[in-house]
Structure 1
Amino acid sequence: MVRVKICGITNWADAALALDAGANALGFNFYPPSPRYIPPSHARMIVSRMPPGVDAVGVFVNAGFAEANEIGLAIDLDVLQLHGDEPPEAVAEFSDSWPLIKAFRVGPEFRAEQLETYRRHTDFFLLDGFSHDARGGTGNSFDWSVAREAKQYGRIFLSGGLTVENVGDAIRQVRPFAVDVCSGVEASPGKKDAARVREFIRTVKEASREIAQ
């Protein structure tokens, strides 16, 4: 079954909605310029109420190890997601302490072989649409053939412009380890739409059953 990460959680109501709908992971954005930024103290209250078996993922952009590690330990995160321009040596600093998702924004110059130098230091790769103006949550998609090629380097979280309308096709074409959605299930930045969340996860489960046959 393809796993589902609902990212950009900013409040308990949205977390409870995603959990009830069957999300496997919730993402909390600790990048202050983001409209989905959540203060660590607020995130800690939400994470403390999450059930076992659902991963709490902290999203960081070009943060140093000391800062991210302190937040991760204080909140009791399960996984760190590095969503900036972190070089392999910076990622390696995290790898002995945390399960890691290393994110890449897929623009015209991206090549799947870039992942090779990171694969020893990360557990998962997340591929997101590129934007000059934002780090994630842009709603921008990309050519999914890149994600198919990237699978040779590790387990892939497919992100970037996923919606109820296209996530089934994305799963059938890419067969990723997981899908990650933020703006595609929002009513407004930082606020989830209940119907979209439920339908998105239902569609993922349906497509997962199809590819398992």
Structure 2
Amino acid sequence: MRTRAKICGITRVEDVQSVVQSGADAIGLVFYPPSPRHVSIEQAQLLVKHIPAYVQVVGLFVNATADDIAEVIKQVPLDMLQFHGDETPEQCQAIAQHTARRWYKAIQVKPDLDVIACIKKYQDAGASAVLLDAWHPELKGGTGHSFDWTQFPQLDIPLILAGGLNPENIEDAIQTTQAYAVDVSGGVESAKGIKDQQLIENFMQGVQRGSAKYKSQ
């Protein structure tokens, strides 16, 4: 099975089309106003019109309330929720029940964090996956930084690799981590929120090569 791939921080219709043509499995829409990749409800509605069946729409939220997320879902058909803030396992679980959506949690890999224990807490709360991202003292994702991939755990829950991924390192990243999925944003951009079609294609080719190599080992 090929490693799954999500292209996050989509803001333009032409970028949706590039992602779909590249064969990516999911598109991420950022509903976090401080982010340069933030989209309004109106933008998201336009983008979703161009996303075909079998390509998932993931909504990224940072410390949003259940009511705020439910309001977005009323207007934008999201398939999956990505919690990228300080949400506790209990908060994620409650929001999922309130919105009737599957979800996963992004965890920033801090140097002193017991990553496995943290993952298990969200797994027990019903997460469909856990995303491991590089830690930054101020930013919530999209940092362009990576963490030590040799520390990537192997557990019985799908784990998503994020942080500092790009077309040049994605093949090695997949071989090293054997992640269930990878998530990229800045690594396929010409500017913040502006994706580059060639970089997306190169990234997805790297995903294919990396998947084939570690699956054959």
Q: Same fold (TM over 0.5)?
A: yes
User: Alpha-carbon deviation of 1:72?
Assistant: 2.1
Q: Which runs of 5+ in 2 are unaligned?
A: none
1:51 aligns with 2:61: no
Question: Which runs of 4 or more aligned residues in structure 1 lie more than 3 Å from their structure 2 counterparts after TM superposition?
Answer: none
Equivalence for 1:116: 120
Equivalence for 2:215: 212
Specify which of 177, 181, 187 is matched with residue 178 of structure 1.
181
Instruction: Describe the SS at the equivalent of 1:119.
Output: helix
Equivalence for 1:101: 104
Seq. identity, %: 37
Q: Is the 8 A contact 2:16 2:50 kept in 1?
A: no
Which amino acid is the alignment partner of residue 106 of structure 2? A
Specify which of 153, 160, 164 is matched with residue 161 of structure 1.
164
1:134 aligns with 2:135: no
Normalized against structure 2, the TM-score is what? 0.94
Which amino acid is the alignment partner of residue 143 of structure 1? D
- Give, in whole Å, the separation in 2 of the partners of 1:95 and 1:146: 29
User: Alpha-carbon deviation of 1:15?
Assistant: 0.9
Q: Is the 8 A contact 2:17 2:50 kept in 1?
A: no
- Give, in whole Å, the separation in 2 of the partners of 1:153 and 1:114: 14
Equivalence for 1:85: 86
- Give, in whole Å, the separation in 2 of the partners of 1:32 and 1:78: 21
Q: Is the 8 A contact 2:174 2:211 kept in 1?
A: yes
Q: Which runs of 5+ in 1 are unaligned?
A: none
- Give, in whole Å, the separation in 2 of the partners of 1:44 and 1:212: 38
Normalized against structure 1, the TM-score is what? 0.95
User: Alpha-carbon deviation of 1:144?
Assistant: 1.3
